[in-house]
Amino acid sequence: DAGITQSPRHKVTETGTPVTLRCHQTENHRYMYWYRQDPGHGLRLIHYSYGVKDTDKGEVSDGYSVSRSKTEDFLLTLESATSSQTSVYFCAISDSRTVSGNTIYFGEGSWLTVV
Amino acid sequence: SQQGEEDPQALSIQEGENATMNCSYKTSINNLQWYRQNSGRGLVHLILIRSNEREKHSGRLRVTLDTSKKSSSLLITASRAADTASYFCATDNNQGGKLIFGQGTELSVKP
């Protein structure tokens, strides 16, 4: 298994509160991603990073911000959580320098419930 | 909108049968990948097929790619109960390391 740790794994929070999810990797991979998974929508890319302090938006970035101050850590912040952000959040990493192409390795997920 | 669309959304078969899942996409791609997700877990990479390849095998998995039709299929032969999972295709259209996933096919293999 790729060395990816997500924390917290489960969280219940109230509407309007800030929430930060952390992804930590030990693989020294360049790319890191945050996806959310919802029934009927599959996995949707929220934000991704292609290096320290280099981030870009995915397809569902509204209401989310990210930061990457170190290669190994990628933080996802919900500034003011809403019920529509109740979801399972997956962190993923990849190293596109490999000849195998851009294979992504996933963490185990963080279950977030906004009440 | 999603790049990859899987078909069918759900598939139920008996152990020993073959399972075929299809994926269609919209734009040109660098490669297409298939992933598997067991219930409550993260996704695991199964196989990658490049845009200049037409077929690829890995154990009981066979993947085909038809770039003219913008479609791919994943065949699992001689299925087992342990193959029960959701299967996702993902496309890499060479946009800075992003992979776009489809909605997945939920496969149930009954013993």
pLDDT in tens, chain B (111 residues): 446 688 899 999 999 999 999 999 998 888 899 999 999 999 999 999 999 999 999 999 999 999 999 999 999 999 999 999 999 999 887 666 678 888 899 999 999
Q: How far is CA B35 from CA A59, A95, A104, B87, B98, in A?
A: 20, 17, 9, 6, 15
**Averaged pLDDT for residues A13-29:** 96
User: Does the structure show a pLDDT above 70 at A99?
Assistant: no
Q: Is A39 on the interface with B (CB under 8 A)?
A: no
Tell me which of A94 and A113 has the higher pLDDT.
Answer: A113
- Chain B residues close to A105, C-beta within 8 Å: 45
Bridge partner residues of B22 (DSSP): B7, B73
pLDDT at A101: 63
Residue showing tokens 């991979």: A29
- Chain A residues close to B2, C-beta within 8 Å: 41-42, 44
Q: Looking at chain A, which residue has its C-alpha nearest residue B4?
A: A42
pLDDT at B61: 97
Average pLDDT, chain A: 92
A106 CA to chain B: closest CA distance, Å?
6
- Chain A residues close to B48, C-beta within 8 Å: 100-101, 103
Q: What is the pLDDT of residues A45-65, one digit of tens each?
A: 999 998 999 999 998 999 999
Residue showing tokens 């509160």: A17
CB contact under 8 A, B103 and A44: no
A111 CA to chain B: closest CA distance, Å?
10
A13 CA to chain B: closest CA distance, Å?
20
Q: Is A100 on the interface with B (CB under 8 A)?
A: yes
pLDDT at B2: 46
- With contact defined as beta carbons under 8 Å apart, do B88 and A42 qualify? yes
pLDDT at A86: 98
CB contact under 8 A, A102 and B45: no
Q: Is B85 on the interface with A (CB under 8 A)?
A: no
- Taking the C-alpha atoms of residue A45 and residue A32, their distance in angstroms, rounded to an integer, is 11
Smallest Cβ–Cβ distance between B100 and the set A45, A56, A101 belongs to A45
**Averaged pLDDT for residues A78-99:** 88
The sign of the torsion formed by the CA atoms of A58, B4, B55, B83 equals positive
Q: How far is CA A107 from CA A25, A93, A100, A110, B50, in A?
A: 9, 8, 20, 9, 25
- Taking the C-alpha atoms of residue A8 and residue A78, their distance in angstroms, rounded to an integer, is 14
pLDDT at A102: 67
Q: Is B47 on the interface with A (CB under 8 A)?
A: no
pLDDT at B30: 86
